Structure formats: C-alpha cells, structure tokens
Structure 1
Amino acid sequence: QIGLGYAGLRDLPPPAEAATLTVRDVDTAFESMGALSGQGSQARRRELVHRLFGAATVDEQRMLGGLVTGELRQGAQAGLLADAIAVAALVPAGTIRRALLLAGDLKLVAVAALLGGAPALAEFALTVGRPIAPMLAQSAADVGTALAATGVPAAVDDKLDGVRIQVHREGETVAVFSRSLDDLTGRMPEVVQQVLRLPVARVVLDGEALAVGPDGRPMPFQDTASRSMRRESGSLRAYFFDALHVDGSDLIDEPGAVRWAALDEVVPEEMRVRRVMVSGEAEAEAAFQASLSAGHEGVVVKAAEAAYDVGRRGSAWVKVKPRHTLDLVVLAVEWGHGRRTGKLSNLHLGARDPRGGGFVMLGKTFKGLTDQMLAWQTEKLLSLAVERGDWVVKVRPELVVEVAFDGVQRSTRYPGGVALRFARVLRYREDKPASEADTIDAVLALL
C-alpha cells in the first residue's frame, strides 16, 4: 500500500546499463513512497519512482513494475515463505504458521524465528484489537471432491461474494479489518453498530461484509466494494462464520465445531452465514444448489474437527463455485515476458456483437495456458496478424477460445461495460467459426 499503480509507471526513465540496485535499496524506496502524504506528495512520489527505476536495468524495471502492479507471478506466497522460514530457523512449520496467524506479519515472525527460535515464537498470542492473518480455502470442482478432502461430518457454508472482514470488540470499542489486515472501521459504521449490539464484552469474529438490496438478495461484489470505500445506496451488513475469541477464551486451536458453537451463542442467526451440517454428498449438493438459488457465488465446505489455520490453502476449508464458460474470439495478444519471452501470451478476448457486427472486448487473460498451448498460439496468431507492435499484436478475429470464469462484473475499462472475473483458457475451438462465438448479450445476461 504505497500509493503507486499503473498510472505512476508512465513515462519511466530509460533503464540503467549495469545492475547496482540491492534489495535494501528497493525496500527503502518503496517504504519512502508509502510514507508520503499531503500536498506535494504526488510529485515527490514521482521523483522517487524515477530515481528507483532509473537505477534499474531492463530486467529489474520489469520485475519492479510487476511488483507494483501485482502482476509478478513468482509463487512466493505466504505459505511457501512460512515453510522456508521454518527450515531456516530449524523449527516446525506448524509453529511458524501459528505465529504468523497471531502476528499477522511475516517479517515479525521471520525475525523472531531466526533470532529467538521456538521460545520467541511461543510469545505470540491473540490480542483483541490486533488483526491476525485469516484462514483460507482451497478450491474444488464439485462438492464431492471437497468432501473427500474435509471428511465428514462437515459444514457447508454459503460463500458470500462480499468483503472479508475480521471484527475485534473490546468493550465499546470495535475495529474492523480487511483480509489484508487494513483498518476498515471508519468505512463500515453499520458493521460497528451491529457488533456493538452483541451480548459480549470481548470478541474476535471472522466473516463477510455484504451489500444487500431492497429485496434482501446480495448485490454484486462491485457494489459491496464501492460501499466499503464510501457511502452509496445499498445496506452493508455483516455476516459471520467463525469465532476466534469470546470473552477471554481463545478459540483458534479448538475444532471448528467448538468455534461454531461459540459463534451461535453470541451472534444471532440473522448475522450468521447460513451453515448446513452434512454427512454425505447428496446433502452437500442440496446445500450448494440452495446457496446458488439465494444469489451467492457457491459454498465453502469445512472440516468440523479442524483448528483455525493460516498460510497454505489446506484441505480443512474447500470452496466450490459453479464454472461458467464462454466461447470468445481472440482480438489481439501481447508478447510475454520472463519465461514467456518470445511467446505470444496475454489474450485480448471479445464477444460477438449480433447487432452492430464485429466483436466487443471483455478483457485479457494469460491464465490456463500450458507451454504447449503457448507455442501453438504464438505460431497460429502470428499467421493471423494484421498489425505487429513491440508489445501488442492485433489479429484477424477468427480464432475461437473456450474460456472459464467465475462471474461477470461491470467495468468502464472495456467497451461492453462488463468484464470477466478470473478468466482462464480451457481450450481452443478450431472447429468453431467466429460467427458462432458467444454474444455480448449472453455475457450481459450473466451480469
């Protein structure tokens, strides 16, 4: 959170010839950018950006740009780093993950592990008012696969398409934190009031904030996200699915069933995520279909005996969402970088316009592409090229690709006013002409 994004990377200075930057130089530069505020901060941030990127080589500029924009896919997620720290510090990985859960800061945990070992890590404790890293879920294609991972009995929770929140209450003081542990308290006064009405003095709850329409059904994620940033139409409500602390009792090491029982005691049903306990696939499938009918994006299947964990996406929580697919047309493609240098990678996707003719762009994706697909599409798309730039190659709109995605959202970035969420390539449809691709009307219907 340093106030720098795509716009701040325009008109960068030419790259340096020799590599001189150190990790410390980069960390110091980013920290300085993040500390800026008030009048003149934008100009000062620009100076720091130019100084940093001017000292970077071509490859270093590319990596720094990826770090800033969130497009650097190097695989170093929190779970992997936690395991690495455990090996380096000669302590069990579970000890690192528990400390990370309680500290919410990988750097603090790394320092404690490397300098103090297990005794230093044992000093981390849940503190009401200080956010902790949330437990995450892995994905499965269907509820049967999810149950195979969690075992039975299991809980099947509605998966709300809202903003993940962690709420801490100490007496009359309430704090609301995001999934990334940012403070959202001032942006969610309704959530604060809901929690203040609970019959409890000290509590830490895990849940979702969701914008709900007049009909009581959930509104699209964009409405929830914008509502959490500023006041807009639509009521923002809190729905909780876990209790981590209740009136002096830490619950993170307790089985899910114990935590959920504590949740039921202090949080009324209308403030809880709908949960169905199941012992088989038929019951889980029924709960899944009921969740979709209620307007939610799927379910999370949860092991009843699992403790609250962090770091890797383990098998204790497994999310299941319906998979939407569309047959779209490739309009252009971008040259890749890193290990994809020399290959055409990021696809520009379009839906057919049945009225005006042509195609309407919906977004881009490079996900789901295997090395074999990259090689094939590079040769194929170059044969369809009508304009070859240094970065983007425009092609004749002839190649159809089947794309899976999680949903559709409104977007002012693309001509159709919509964009696909988490789009990834499944396969190419050489058997299908572009005239039979899905239409923009079909995409708008999903919205």
Structure 2
Amino acid sequence: MLKFAEVVAVSAEVGGTRSRLAKVDALATLLRRAEGAAETEAVVAFLAGAPRQGRIGAGWRTIVALAPEPAAAATLTVGDVDRALADVAGAAGKGSAGRRASVLGALFAAATADEQRFLRALLTGELRQGALEGVMLDAVARASGVPGEGVRRAFMLSGRLPATAAAALSGGADALAVFRLELGRPVRPMLAAPGASLAEAVAALRPCVVEYKMDGARIQVHKRGDDVRVFTRTLREITGSVPELVEVVRGLPCRSAVLDGETLALTDEGRPRPFQETMSRFGSTVEEQVKALLLRPYFFDCLHLDGDDLIDEPLRARAAALRRAVGDHVIPGLVDPTVAEAENLTAAALAAGHEGVMVKDLDSPYQAGRRGKAWQKVKPVHTLDLVVLGAEWGHGRRTGVLSNLHLGARDPDGGPPVMVGKTFKGLTDTLLRWQTEEFPKHESHRDTWTVYLRPEIVVEIALDGAQVSTRYPGGVALRFARVLRYRPDKSPADADTIDTVRALLSSR
C-alpha cells in the first residue's frame, strides 16, 4: 500500500521543476508502485488535483479552518485518504454536516504538516503541482508501456482520467481497447487551434471543409430512439434545460446518433444573440424562459450513426453521415473551396454576426484536445481564452469595484498559469459589478491593491498581438488587450497556452 506521504512528496517534486520530462518520470515511477485499480485511480486523481469523489460537500471556508496539530509521523495510506473523502462525499440527510466535519477533522489530525497542506490545496482546488491532464497522460503511457495515442484515445472515450490510468496499468493496450464510444456517455470534444490566416489554413489542410464559426455554446447530443441527452463542452448534462433541442433531435431521421455542434439563441432577424444569453439557458428549466429565448442547434460532426461508430473515420465520412442524420441542421460551410470561395464564406459569416470560420482537414479522425492543427479557427480579431489570476481595485469612477484584471496563459507542462498581462478595457458597468461580487468567492489572498484568485475563471480577450516583455515570467505580453466576455462554459484546462501567446510574436 502506498503511503499518502509518497504522493505528497512526488507532488512537491513535480511542482518544483519546469521540465516536462522530469514531471513525467516522477509521476510514472510512482504510478508503477500503485497496487490495484482503486489505489491507482486515487493516486491519479490526487496528483491531477481533483479527488475522484468530485465535490465532497465541504466548503472552502470549512476546509481552510481545519487546523489541528499535525501528526508527528506519516501513517496515512492512499486508501485511508480515499475512503475518508468517500465518507465525506457520501454524508447526507440529518446530521450530515457534523459527520463531514468529524471525518475531515480526524483526517487532518492524522496528517503531517506537509500532508495537511496538500489536502487543503486539493480540497479547495488550489493544488498546482503541475500534473495536469496532458502530463499525467504521458506518465500513464510511460508507466504502462502503452503508446501515448492509445492512452489519449481511451481517455477521450471514457472522459475519466483515473479509470483510464487504472486500465492501462492493469491490462495495457488490450484493457484500453475496451473503451469504446457509448451512447449516453459524453466524449471529450475535439478542439481547434488558431489559424494564422485563411489562405494559410486552406493551403495547409487541403482537402478541407470551411464552415461558420458561430458565437454559440458547444453541445454534444446523444440519441437512442426517443431518448435524447445533451451535454456541454465540459461534459455536464443539460438535457432538462434545453427541451427544444431535445425535440429537434428526436425528430431527426435516424435511430441512434452522437452529434457534435453548437447552439445559440437568435434574434427575430436571425442574428445571434449575445453569448451570455445563450449560456443563461443552460441552468434554466423555467418554461417562461424557454419560451422567451429559444435555442437552435447547428451540427458539424457525427461520431455515431445508426449502430456504426465513426470516431476513427476521416472527417469526409463523418460529414457524409452528418448530412444524412441532421439535414438542414448542418452548420453552413463549403467542402474543399478555393481561397476566394472561402473568403466569400467568411464575409457571409461575419455579415451574419458570427465570429469567423473553421477550417478542417477532411482526412482527420476525431481527437480530443488541441492535437496538432487538423482544425483551425480563423477570426478577423485575435482572441485568447485566458485565466483570471487577480483583479485590482479601481480608481476614480471605478473606486470600490474590482477592475484591472491580471491575465494568465495555461502552462502546457502542467505548471500554474503564466501571467501575460493586465487589462481594464472592455469592462462594462455590468461586468464590473459582477466581478466585484463574484471574484471574492474565488479569492486565494489579497493585498492592499489586489484580490488574487484561484485559477478557476476563464475570460475571452481580444488583442492586437503580442510583444516581447521582461515584465512577465513568460517573456511575452499582450498588446492592447480588452475583455470580450467571460466563458463559464470553459475550465482553466481549456485556456490557451503560453506557447499560443508566444506564437503571436511571429505573426506581427
């Protein structure tokens, strides 16, 4: 049985190096020593920064307030901690608050000072040891001897990193091959990389499809007969909030399907409503709100159709299946257009109020995450999804509200976000009020001028490019950054990387 202290030590080792190879080596060495699926899953969950029980029902203030005298010696095992968190998460009904407090108090009392610090960071979402998904997937591949592509594919299909790791380490490639697309279980979405220009993207990805990039919310829809389930890009189910989408999918001419697409609310003139209005529907089941703000789906990919899994098929085959499955609900686009035709489509998309276009390689399979550049997004304005690291109190007219944002890009090697700039531009009075109310809920600490946040909130930033800078640790700073909108549909793991920001230096 692994001692919990060993996990804590590896966490510190991983967090103390910038080397991706060193991180992977340290994690793989520990994973090889885990005994059984349960211990492997717990270790992976702890090091990835999220217990496998998910939210355990204890608030941030409760956890921070736990401060018993640390244990003198490390006696806790990984199993001890995992079972304690399961007890806390499972507490329900009368007396559950007391039960959670008792179990957590006993757990912290049995932990050394280092273990207490790790537990507190783990349970408050502040663990920044660097073992994010990409690094952990590489470590699983190293520890199990399975090619990385097989591990990533299984993770895409399962959506569960601990379960993927346990399968790889217990049964290798054969165990990972068991993970298949399953109706009703969402698949991690394939994402797009920024394209330098339309002409370059079309030339690089030909033969390609060029389609509208809509200012909507990503959805994944699973249909089995009349049973329809709808998920967000973070794999959260929202079926109960979007009955009109369910009815559209029920009416499609197919028995079963898994569809990838966008949904958005339109004005009476057919133009997209603001993104925030579309997102407001995802938490609503109120009939009056549904009637007032109807959503329309636009689908761009088909991963399964009438018993056939298509996820490994090239996009051209998936696109043909999509047209059979959804008819008029296909997103507007052109197959293998000339550059002039693609430019005309882009102009039409912008005129209709959308963001730009997507350019996709027709020979590409479906892969989760930003894997290469098989999908590229081309927009007239540079935009980045960044993590809010803090906000400064305003001056003058903005006295008393949180204003100037500290912005961070994701470290692809799993470290904490890398600061790349500040901005107060683009913040409306409504956003300023929202920030001032919302940000303290995510506060890690503050000083006289600034409230610093846990890396949980993603904001979309427009910018004119990037420039070399010695002011920020990444060596690069944003040029003329301004806030477009917040992205509640995205997690910090979806934010753009520091490498993406640095790539803007060569596009000037």
Q: Shared fold by TM > 0.5?
A: yes
Partner Cα distance (2:123, 2:267) in 1: 35
Q: Does 1:159 align with 2:213?
A: yes
Q: Offset of 1:258 from its aligned partner?
A: 1.2
Deviations 1:199-232 (A, max 9, x none): 1111111123333344433333333333111133
Q: Which residue of the other structure, out of 403, 426, 451, is the alignment partner of 1:362? A: 403
Partner Cα distance (1:406, 1:319) in 2: 23
SS for the counterpart of 2:408 is: coil
Q: Which residue of the other structure, out of 96, 102, 106, is the alignment partner of 2:157? A: 102
Partner Cα distance (1:40, 1:112) in 2: 37
> Structure 1 residues 105, 346: closer, same or farther in 2, change over 3 A?
closer
Q: Which residue of the other structure, out of 123, 130, 136, is the alignment partner of 2:185? A: 130
Q: Offset of 1:63 from its aligned partner?
A: 4.7
SS for the counterpart of 1:193 is: helix
Bigger shift: 92-101 or 256-265?
92-101
Deviations 1:74-118 (A, max 9, x none): 443434333322222222222222222333322232222222222
Q: Does 1:414 align with 2:435?
A: yes
Q: Offset of 1:260 from its aligned partner?
A: 1.0
SS for the counterpart of 2:245 is: helix
What is the TM-score when the length of structure 2 is the normalising length?
0.62
Partner Cα distance (2:395, 2:458) in 1: 15
Which amino acid is 1:348 matched to?
Answer: A
Query: Which residues in structure 2 correspond to 1:426-441 (within 5 Å)?
Result: none
Partner in structure 1 of residue 327 of structure 2? 268
Instruction: Tell me if structure 2 keeps the 8 A contact 1:323–1:405.
Output: no
SS for the counterpart of 1:133 is: coil
Deviations 1:111-151 (A, max 9, x none): 22222222222233222223222222233454456456x52
Partner Cα distance (2:382, 2:438) in 1: 22
User: Taking every aligned residue pair, what percent have the same amino acid on both sides?
Assistant: 42
Partner in structure 1 of residue 474 of structure 2? none
Structure 2 unaligned residues grouped into runs of 5+: 1-53, 412-418, 440-456, 472-479, 487-508
Q: Offset of 1:193 from its aligned partner?
A: 0.8
Deviations 1:179-203 (A, max 9, x none): 3333322222222111001011111
Partner in structure 2 of residue 200 of structure 1? 254
Q: Does 1:114 align with 2:169?
A: yes
Query: Which residues in structure 2 correspond to 1:51-70 (within 5 Å)?
Result: 51-52=106-107, 63-64=118-119, 66-68=121-123, 70=125
Deviations 1:357-378 (A, max 9, x none): 75853363251599xxxxxxx9
Q: Which residue of the other structure, out of 193, 196, 217, is the alignment partner of 2:271? A: 217
Partner Cα distance (1:36, 1:234) in 2: 38
Partner in structure 2 of residue 319 of structure 1? 377
SS for the counterpart of 1:205 is: strand
Which amino acid is 1:362 matched to?
Answer: S
Q: Does 1:348 align with 2:348?
A: no
Which amino acid is 2:165 matched to?
Answer: A
Partner Cα distance (1:208, 1:40) in 2: 43
> Structure 1 residues 99, 346: closer, same or farther in 2, change over 3 A?
closer
Partner in structure 1 of residue 364 of structure 2? 306
Partner Cα distance (1:422, 1:54) in 2: 42
Instruction: Tell me if structure 2 keeps the 8 A contact 1:405–1:420.
Output: no
Partner Cα distance (1:444, 1:87) in 2: 40
> Structure 1 residues 68, 410: closer, same or farther in 2, change over 3 A?
farther
Query: Which residues in structure 2 correspond to 1:366-445 (within 5 Å)?
Result: 366-367=407-408, 403=423, 410=431, 412-415=433-436, 421-422=459-460
Bigger shift: 121-130 or 360-369?
360-369
Partner Cα distance (2:79, 2:136) in 1: 19
Partner in structure 2 of residue 76 of structure 1? 131
Partner in structure 2 of residue 253 of structure 1? 312
Q: How many residues align?
A: 388
Q: Which residue of the other structure, out of 227, 240, 246, is the alignment partner of 1:173? A: 227
Which amino acid is 2:362 matched to?
Answer: A
SS for the counterpart of 2:186 is: coil
> Structure 1 residues 143, 5: closer, same or farther in 2, change over 3 A?
farther
> Structure 1 residues 41, 181: closer, same or farther in 2, change over 3 A?
farther
Which amino acid is 1:201 matched to?
Answer: R
Instruction: Tell me if structure 2 keeps the 8 A contact 1:210–1:218.
Output: yes
SS for the counterpart of 2:435 is: coil
Partner Cα distance (1:28, 1:444) in 2: 43
Instruction: Tell me if structure 2 keeps the 8 A contact 1:97–1:311.
Output: no
Which amino acid is 1:302 matched to?
Answer: K
Q: Does 1:295 align with 2:333?
A: no
Q: Does 1:186 align with 2:240?
A: yes
> In proportion to residue count, which structure has more helix?
2
SS for the counterpart of 1:156 is: strand
Which amino acid is 2:361 matched to?
Answer: A
Instruction: Tell me if structure 2 keeps the 8 A contact 1:139–1:320.
Output: yes
Partner Cα distance (1:53, 1:8) in 2: 12
Instruction: Tell me if structure 1 keeps the 8 A contact 2:144–2:168.
Output: yes
Instruction: Tell me if structure 1 keeps the 8 A contact 2:71–2:109.
Output: no
Partner Cα distance (1:424, 1:19) in 2: 51
Partner Cα distance (2:175, 2:187) in 1: 18
Partner Cα distance (1:177, 1:412) in 2: 30
Q: Offset of 1:242 from its aligned partner?
A: 0.6
Partner Cα distance (1:213, 1:37) in 2: 44
Partner Cα distance (1:55, 1:264) in 2: 59
Which amino acid is 2:193 matched to?
Answer: Q
Partner Cα distance (1:34, 1:161) in 2: 37
Partner in structure 2 of residue 392 of structure 1? none
Q: Offset of 1:234 from its aligned partner?
A: 1.4
Partner in structure 2 of residue 329 of structure 1? none
Which amino acid is 2:459 matched to?
Answer: R
